[in-house]
Amino acid sequence: MRVFIPATFSMLRTLVDDGEMPVRSGTGFAATPTLTESFSEGDQEEIEHVAFTEASRASLRLLQAEGVGTDDAEVPARRVVVSVDLPDRAVTLRPDLDDAVVRLETPVVANKVLRAIHVDLDSNADTVVKAVEVIDEADLGEEDAELTVGDAVDLDLAWFDPVELPFLVELG
């Protein structure tokens, strides 16, 4: 199963340094049967894009937790999504949390299961910071905040091959 893991640059550094990365709350996003059933049309790639988008939104929360948007921020204001392939038995579907949510049986991702790393471009930083600042309000349904978060989520992430990970982190 292709799983999209929300992350940050500090998590990528851990992946480079340790060869594995803890996954916050063991949570990922995937084209689950519940998500697939919610679409009357669309192919697997389109449904996976929905799960990917949810992971990129979750990355905003991780950036908020790491202080992005404050003077103390030590990580760049760039969303990160790590794509991995895991056996179905390694994930538990969690439709009670959301249609695309899965929990990893082992909340750690190793280099060997990486399929791609997706990262915001530097030019997205201002939009990402604005979204991080209002993510709580957006989750509570405040319309302007939802639009601000939507602006960030609508931005494409750059794709990197797993072999590029050390260089990506170094250039951060």
142-171 tens-digit pLDDT: 999 999 999 999 999 999 999 999 999 988
99-109 tens-digit pLDDT: 999 999 999 99
Q: Is the pLDDT of residue 74 over 90?
A: no
pTM of this structure: 0.93
Domain ranges of the chain: 2-160
Q: Which of 70-74, 90-94, 109-113 has the lowest mean pLDDT?
A: 70-74
Q: Is the pLDDT of residue 72 over 90?
A: no
Q: Which amino acid is at 34?
A: T
pLDDT of residue 95: 87
Q: Is the pLDDT of residue 140 over 90?
A: yes
